[in-house]
Amino acid sequence: MERKGCNEMLCLVTFVLMCFTAMAWSQRPQQGSQVPCFFIFGDSLVDNGNNNRMVTLARANYRPYGIDFPLGTTGRFTNGRTYVDALVNFANTVQEMRRLFRGDNNALSSYLSKCIFYSGMGSNDYLNNYFMPNFYTTSSDYDTKAYAAVLVQDYARQLTQLYGLGARKVIVTAVGPIGCIPYQLARYHGNSSRCNEKINRAIVLFNSGLRKMVDSFNSGVLQGAKFVYLDSYKSSNDLYLKAASYGFEVIDKGCCGVGRNNGQITCLPLQQPCEDRGKYLFWDAFHPTEEANNVFANASFGSQSYTYPINIQQLASL
């Protein structure tokens, strides 16, 4: 199983590689900062360019990635802003964090307790492991229920360590219906459903475990902390069903890419993407467009339709 990313997550806290200040939540631009900082841990759905310095073939530091982002190509795996970009406007807090790390542990603890920690893990454990039986034995070693349980157990251990480092406000994000992304649609030849429901059923088991984990943490297991479960599976599924009402016309293929559904290969360097990017739900084989990310952020900030037990705005105000 893919556990390297979870271990690196805790190292990132120490080195503050992904520390941003939430100067103004995108849904409340007229207000001042609601939290002093926003730590983001996850995969390519929220990557802001840290991946550029890693030894990997998975890169987005070339055009057309970032074609609609003010700073151009940064390493974000979309045409513009990611989901977490849409939640906040960022400002640099490196100098402040350096001061706090100089032995002033009380100040650091107080500071971190007011921050929001966003964690989105699990997609790659399924996409690039469990459902790749030609490369990994995981699916023969575990059935879907057992695999979900092992992942949640490991996830809970990592979040408990994050709590020990000072995290008190944490958003835990569900895995979306990856059986419906262009990458899977390009490989799927089923007739009964547009999506690969075998994959989605496995994801539902994992997400159910995440929600129970959040309930456990909030019941007093981790005193003084508040965890919020962000149901990106439900929000994504609802967006598929109501795509037209949000102006999306294409929900089954990437705006750029190669092959069936533009999902067999991600965007190639200097490839010409679709012109009407606001009408596409997906940017490439795996990732949403900026417009879709904006819709997700709008739906999760001040509403409890996709957050549990409170919404993100309420979490920020604690």
Tens of pLDDT, residue by residue over 50-102, are: 777 778 777 888 889 889 988 888 888 788 787 677 665 433 344 455 555 56
| Residue in 85, 125, 231, 284 annotated catalytic | 284
Whether residue 262 contacts residue 284, with contact meaning beta carbons closer than 8 Å, is answered with: yes
- How many other C-beta atoms lie within 10 A of the C-beta of residue 16? 17
How far, in Å, CA of 310 to CA of 302, rounded? 9
Stretch 93-117: mean pLDDT, rounded? 69
Q: Which two tokens stand for residue 187?
A: 């490989």
Q: Give CA angle at 143 (141, 149), nearest 5°.
A: 100
Type of residue at 200: N
Tokens, residue 241: 């069903």
- In eight-state DSSP terms, residue 301 is H
Is residue 192 annotated as a catalytic residue, yes or no? no
Residue 24 contacts residue 35 (beta carbons within 8 Å):
no
> 44, 123, 232, 236: which one is catalytic?
44
Q: Which pLDDT score is estimated for 90?
A: 31
Q: Indicate the pLDDT class of residue 8, thresholds 50, 70 and 90.
A: very low
Give the CA count within 13 Å in the CB-facing half-sphere of 186: 18
- What pLDDT shows up at residue 35? 81
Annotation says 287 is catalytic = yes
For residue 47, name the pLDDT band (cuts at 50, 70, 90). confident
33 in active site: no
Beta pairing, strands 116-120 & 169-173: parallel
CATH topology of domain 4-317: Rossmann fold (3.40.50)
> pLDDT by residue (tens digit) across 223-273?
999 999 999 999 999 999 999 999 999 999 999 999 999 999 999 999 999
Identify the active-site residue in 47, 235, 236, 287.
Answer: 287
Confidence of residue 193 (pLDDT cuts 50, 70, 90): low
Q: Where are the beta strands (DSSP E) in the chain?
A: 19-25, 38-42, 88-91, 116-120, 169-173, 226-230, 250-254, 280-282, 307-308
